[in-house]
Structure 1
């Protein structure tokens, strides 16, 4: 069995709705190297789509799981995994990001049937926004199911929740929107009633270790964390941290180009079933 293929696939969340996470995307420098690594480690296959020769869509069991774009050098942005959030108006949201001391690095840029923005929050964590302009999104086809879960590790979870809440309109009451709940010392983000992300405090903006600096942690569910770690190391990746968590374990890895991602055998997004 491929180490990146779950033995029992947990019921995934549907990524849809205004302000909800709609996609995860790797910004990298070399498309061929990224495909070789993630194909070997997570068992993904790849297909070129309508976004151009610098982009591919990764598929897991034939279902779109993530995007990869070799655009880090062209756009002078960091190599990183990042989430995209669905928004009704990319220009409006880009303005909100700037007004609240965030950074818009790229866009709004028309790509296929949508408009994209690459941004960072005021603590430096990278994320994207996506405005749907066609009948279906080229980033997240209608009905796409989540193959990744999200956790924001940031300086102050409550301050970050206010930033994203104001930028993305969380708790606006819009149909399909997201809401936040305060669970112990974290913030839990629910979209369409489903837990999709957690926001945790404690990151240090100036830390030399990129794991400690504020960042969106993209977590991929796998059947066997240990096997996946070994596969990553065999193909040029590096284990950064392994830890036990409620209901399972997880490991943070660095791919050969420097992007951090996490693999986990936990059956619920960001341990959300524990609350």
Structure 2
């Protein structure tokens, strides 16, 4: 175990946290620890066992355990920061999405789980942003083992962008600090002059938010994942944002790794 030295920051309007629901926290630790260099520290246990993954003293992800009677698959969830979880939850319902859980209070704010009208699940997190004001708490440059990129795979990224843009008020934010643009056949979110997430067309996959973790060597990470009991689903291959491999963990949870192009 490690001591926490830096906590995650809630960044309005963009993804600012990722969480894994696993069948076994022990199996998740055995897989992700050696793959991504994670150490683990206990988190709040109000809704069951919860761990925070830590890299170089920085919290990078959360891991929770599925209840034994739940039918939900092992999966990663992307959480968007927002100033008001209640207002965002109302926006989800008003725009054809589904609110599954919450908003509920927890140790770092208020959280809700939802699905967009096309079936992709995501989280809403209202928490304290450092510095206050719109766009405060800027995303950190990705450490190895930390989320480096978040991407929605969906049949109609423009329709999805309208939904998320209205729920998270993309149009009403300071354009000097937050921007939505189109590049590399994706709708891209930029915060503080950094591309942090995108929405892209993918008709061969169920709609979902894919989490990409930074690695120094994508090919090596793919081989290591297979040795740890996971699977390589796609790649490794170069992309506009680096070299990517899509993987499944030892319990079937899908995610990607992103490293330098070769």
1:30 Cα deviation from its structure 2 partner: 1.4
Q: 1:75 to 1:170 in 2, by over 3 A?
A: farther
Aligned mate of 1:221, from 205, 214, 226? 214
TM-score normalised by length of structure 2: 0.83
Write the deviation string for residues 174-195 of structure 1: whole angstroms up to 9, x where unpaired: 5997431122532111123321
Deviations 1:156-213 (A, max 9, x none): 1111111100011112125997431122532111123321011111335xxxxxxx11
Distance of aligned partners of 1:75 and 1:121 in 2 relative to their CA distance in 1, 3 Å threshold: farther
Residues 68-106 of structure 1 show CA distances to partners (whole Å, capped at 9, x for unaligned) of 111365776442112111111111111111111111111
Residues 1:92 and 2:87 are matched in the alignment: yes
Is there any run of 5+ residues in structure 2 with no aligned partner, and where?
Answer: 1-7, 132-136
Distance 1:74 1:40 in 2: 29
Equivalent in the alignment of 1:20: 14
**Structure 2 residue 165 is the aligned partner of structure 1 residue 168:** no
Match of 1:71 in 2: 66
Indicate the residue corresponding to 2:152 in structure 1: 152
| Structure 1, gaps ≥5 residues long | 1-13, 137-141, 205-211, 268-275
Q: Which residue of the partner structure matches residue 33 of structure 2?
A: 39
Offset at residue 130 of structure 1 (A):
0.5
Deviation at 1:257, TM superposition (A): 1.8
Residue pair 1:28, 1:34 contacting (<8 A) in 2 also: yes
Asked if residue 122 in structure 1 is aligned to residue 110 in structure 2, the reply is no
Is the 8 Å Cα contact of residues 85 and 110 (structure 2) preserved in structure 1?
Answer: yes
SS in 1 for 2:34: helix
Question: What is the deviation of 1:266?
Answer: 3.5
Worse-matched range after superposition: 48-57 or 110-119: 48-57
Q: TM-score, normalised by structure 1?
A: 0.79
Deviations 1:107-157 (A, max 9, x none): 112111311111111111111010116999xxxxx6773421111111111
Alpha-carbon separation, structure 1, partners of 2:18 and 2:244: 19
Query: Is the aligned partner of 1:48 residue 2:48?
Result: no
More strand by share: 2
